[in-house]
Structure 1
Amino acid sequence: MPTHRILSPVLSLKIRLNLAGRRVRSVVAGMSVAVSMITPVVALTGSAHATSLTYGQDVSGYESNYDWSASPAKFGIVKATEGLNFRDPSFVRQWRELAGKGIVRGAYHYGHPGDDPVAEADHFLSVVNEQPAKRGDLLVLDLETTDGESVAHVNAWAKTWLAHVKAETGVAPIFYSGRDFADTYGHGLAGYPLWVAAYGPATERVAPPADWKKWIIHQYTDTPIDQNVSSLTPQQLRALGRR
């Protein structure tokens, strides 16, 4: 049973990108990433629209020593759990650092459709609920793999996981995935905010997949760490989180 992305028998979107030469994450793991290396997208596109975007970052155990105090991010999302029993060893420290920084923060669960969705959702909530909560904390399902299951199964699995977390917390979780994956497996999930990974096109050209009319977060690169922009202000992002 997989307990970490790198151990999963099914290659995730991010691992496939690594194998294609996008980035060797092991170089980054265990090191602090210099802020000088990170250029928010507002400096990359040069468009008038880009200036209204909110810059954010997300990390996991691959960047276990990331220094949030030096980060320019206005929101930060960190990995909490995966599968039925894996806890990201850096979650607690990073969760507390984000609280100290005072920016919008979120926690994500990496899902495996081969497992029971309610059991995975409960595992995620148990780990997140062990830490002090703040108003506006975001909850996220990261779904990038099928575990060999059918389209119908993966879609139903996602609906069950998301609905269970919403029922338990009163918060509609954010759904994260690559654009192509979401376009195939995400139909009927438009009631949940979309965080889409698309590394090729400029932000303003990223069309929402499946039934979504818009995305709220675009992950536009994973170099040197995962970087994102949101179409929402920090205050609007907080409104999607815990009450």
Structure 2
Amino acid sequence: MQTASIKLPSSVFASEFEEEVGLLNKAAPVSGPRLDMDPDIVAALDEDFDFDNPENMLEDDFIIKANDFMFADCETKSRFTEYSLTSSVLRRNEQLTLLDDRFEKFYEQFDDDEIGALDNAELEGYIEPDSKRLEEVFKDYFIQKEKDLHAICINVYTCLQIRVSDKTGIPLDVLPKRGLTAKQVERMERINDSDLPRASKQPRSREESAEEKRARKQAIKTERKERRSEKKANKLAFKQEKQMQEKQMVNLRANVQGLKLS
């Protein structure tokens, strides 16, 4: 009967290589002077800070004084990287500082206020009168001038062909002539003799009685009432027709203006 074998990963066993310094000792604080740290910080950590010195005493309003200006205002930034030169990884010795100053002076010539048109620059030079470059410039100038004159002639000829109405301000002979609309034709067909104004049909007799006179006056009142109704209807019809024609005129002017712009 075979026994079951257990296979464990290699991480649970002891390491093959043994280090000289253990993990706990690696995390231990470094003893001795720290040359990469600020001297004031090292003195404070070593408890060598002189608290009795008046120059080392903080004033009561040191927080207010510290907030008077931002650190970025007094920090020198590089024009090329927009980072502080004091925060560089390399310590800035005298040679590196001189190199930084020269580079900043050179890069200052390409600031936003220095880049642009050369209006104030003094440009000097000389070109031969019979040079090919000058001939090309003259040739391009005359070609462009000829194109401009051709375009001006076309515009003048086009403007002379358009006649504008003195009354409406609309160009003549541009839009097709239009007759009566379908609604206008239908309205004209509905007009007959009964729609036209007519004289009273109630003659007056010299020998009429009181009853006949009363009936005649009543008939006249009825006719006048009908005439007032017809007059009111005609005024309303003319008003609607006027509004419709004004609307058509506005649309027509807008279309003509669009044709001019295009």
Normalized against structure 1, the TM-score is what?
Answer: 0.19
Structure label with greater radius of gyration:
2
Structure having the higher strand fraction is 1
